[in-house]
Amino acid sequence: MSQQSGAEIMQETILAGHYQLVKPLGKGGFGVTFLARDTHLPGTPLCVVKQLKPKANDDSTLEAAKRLFDREAQILYRLGSHSQIPRLLAHFEQEGEFYLVQEFIEGLPLNQEITTGTQKGEAYVVAFLQEILQVLAFVHRQNVIHRDIKPANLIRRSKDNKIILIDFGAVKEVRSQTNKSHDDYTQTVVVGSPGYMPNEQMAGTPYFSSDVYAVGMIAIRALTGVHPKEIESDSQTGEVSWRMLAPNVNPELADMLDYMVRYDFRDRYPTAVQTLEALQSLPLVTADSLIVTSRQPQSASPTEAPTILLKESPSLTNWRPKVPKRISKAPSSASPPLVETSTPPTRLTGSAPEAPLSDKPVSSPAKQENTTKIQGRGWAPSLAIISISVGLTFLVSWALLPRRSVYRDVYRTIYEDPVLISLLGKADRLRQEGKYQESITAYNQAIARNTQVPEAHWGKCYSLNKLSQPEAAFDACAQALKLNPKYPEAFSSQGYALHQMEKYTSALDHFDHALELKPEFAEAWTNKGVTLQALGNHTDALDAFKKAIEINPNHAEVWANQGAALWGLGRYDEAVDSIDRALKIDPNHLSATKLREQARQELGR
C-alpha cells in the first residue's frame, strides 16, 4: 500500500469520481479524515472521507489497520440505522488506498464542552448519561464494543443538540458466544485513549463493560473538572479515587458512577443496557417534568441540559445501587419487545387472536424523537430495575405471537389464482411455525406471482420484524399500505419496526393510526403501552394496557405489563395483584413467575 501524505491526497481533489476534498479534519492511529463534498448529489452536500493511513508501515501494522478499517465499514453499515451514529455512505479502494465515506455531522465535540478546570452540575451529567447510554445500549445490543469512547468522539449536533457517537475505527465485534473460548478475547489490537481505557482493555481483552467504564470516566471528568489521567487510584484496590474532587455529588449518583468504573470488569454493569436501567432507577425528578430535546432545530446552546434534581426521600436512607453480578461477555438478549400480531388483514374477517406465546424480555432503552414530557421518576424499590440475574428489565414486555394463520379458503374469496393461493397459504404456515426466513422466501414467490397482494407484503413485513430487520420490515409494510391504505395490521407492524429502531414517538403515531382504523385492536393497544413505558410515561401506558385487557382479558403478558406500569407509578399492591392475575391465567409463565418472586423479595410478601 502506498503512503501518501494529506497534502498529496488533497492535490488529487476528487476521489471515486465525485468526492471533492475540501480540507483535512484530523488524524488518528489508523487513518486521516477529510471534509469533502459529494458532487453527484444535488447541492453537493458535505461528507467525511477517511483514508486508511497507519502511523507505521510494517506488514503487521498494515494488516491490522486494514482489518480494523474493513471492520469499521461493516459495523458502520449495520449501526448506521441509528439517528445518533453517522451513516456509512461508501467504502472503496482507489490506487491501492482504502477509503470510507461517512455522513458529516455539524457540531462541536464534547472535549470543547467538558473541559479541564470546569465542573459541570449533576443535571448536566445525568442528562449526558441518559443520552449517551441510550446510543451505546443500541451498539451493545448489536454485539459491538466501541473501545474508544471519549469526549472527542462525541459530537453535540448543532441542529438538535443531540450527542452523536463517532469514530468506530476501534470497534470490536463480539461474535456468538456459543463456540468461543476465553482465548478468543485475547487476540485483539490494543486501542483506546488513556484515562478512558480500563485495565482489561489495555491488556487486549475489551468487554462491553469497558465502554461503560469510559462513559463513567467522562461523567467523572465533567463533575470534577479533572482529566482522568490526573485522577489517582487506590493503591490497594485499584479503584478510582475521585469523590474527594466532587464531595457534594449526590451519593446515589456517585455510587452508580463507582460501579461504572470498577477496576474489575466483572464488578461493573455488564453493558450499557443495564447501566441505563440503573440510571433510570435513581430518584431523578424534574421541577415539573423532564423535557426531552426535540430533533427539530433548537436555539439552545450546545451545553444546555434538562433541569434535573435528585429528590430527597426518607426511603433513600439505606438505598444503594445493586452490585452488578459477575457477568458473561455478551449483553442480554434484545428480542423485540412488542406484540407483533399475526392476525389476518382487516379485509379478511376472522375471530380474535388466540392466546400468545413467548416470554422474551425487552432490553431497549428509551430514546425520544420529538419534544416529549416524561413524568418525573420518584424512587421505587429495586424491582424497578428487575435484577440482571433473571434476565428481565423494567418494561417486562414480551413478543406475543398469536397462533392463528390465514386459511386458504379465505384467500379463495379474494384471489382466483390457485398457485398464488397455495403460496400464500404456505407462507402463512411457515410464519405461524416461526420459520421466518423460509416464510419470506414463500412471500417473495407470491409477490413475484402477483405484486398487488397486500397480505404477502404484510406477511413479509411480519417475518422481517421477527428476524430483527426493522428497516426492511418497515419498507415491506409500506408496500402493503400502498395497496391497502386502511390496513391496521400493517400500521401496527410498522410501529413494531420503529420501536425496534428506537424511534418511539413515530412508533406511537403508527399504533394510533392502527387504532383509528381498528379501535378493538388489542395488540396495538399493548404495543402502545410498551412504547409509552419506553418513554417513561407509566400513566398513559397503564391506560393502554387497561384497554388491551378490556378487549382481551386472557393475555397473561398484558397483565404482567400492567403490573410493571403500576409498579412504576408506586402502586405496589395493585402491581402485585396484576402480576398474580397473569400467573392465574398462566401458572407456568416463566417471566411472570420471576417477576412475582422479585416483588416478593422487595415487599416481603
Give the integer Cα–Cα distance in Å for 154 and 107. Answer: 10
Report how far apart the first and last C-alpha atoms of the chain are (Å, whole number): 69
Residues paired with 51 in a beta bridge: 32, 99
Let me know if 148 is a catalytic residue.
Answer: yes
Measured CA distances, 28 to 107, 167, 173, 238 (Å): 19, 10, 20, 29
Q: Which helix (H) or strand (E) holds 592?
A: helix 590-603
Residue tagged active-site, from 38, 58, 59, 148: 148
Give the integer Cα–Cα distance in Å for 542 and 564. Answer: 9
Contact 119, 201 (CB under 8 A): no
Q: Which helix (H) or strand (E) holds 459?
A: helix 454-466
Is 100 in a helix, a strand, or coil? strand
Residue ranges of alpha helices (H) inside 467-555 are: 470-483, 488-500, 504-517, 522-534, 538-551
Residue ranges of alpha helices (H) inside 142-250 are: 199-202, 208-224
Give the integer Cα–Cα distance in Å for 490 and 341. Answer: 10
Contact 60, 34 (CB under 8 A): no
Residues 6+ apart with CB under 8 A from 520: 551
Phi and psi at residue 50, to the nearest 5°: -115, 125
Known catalytic residues?
148
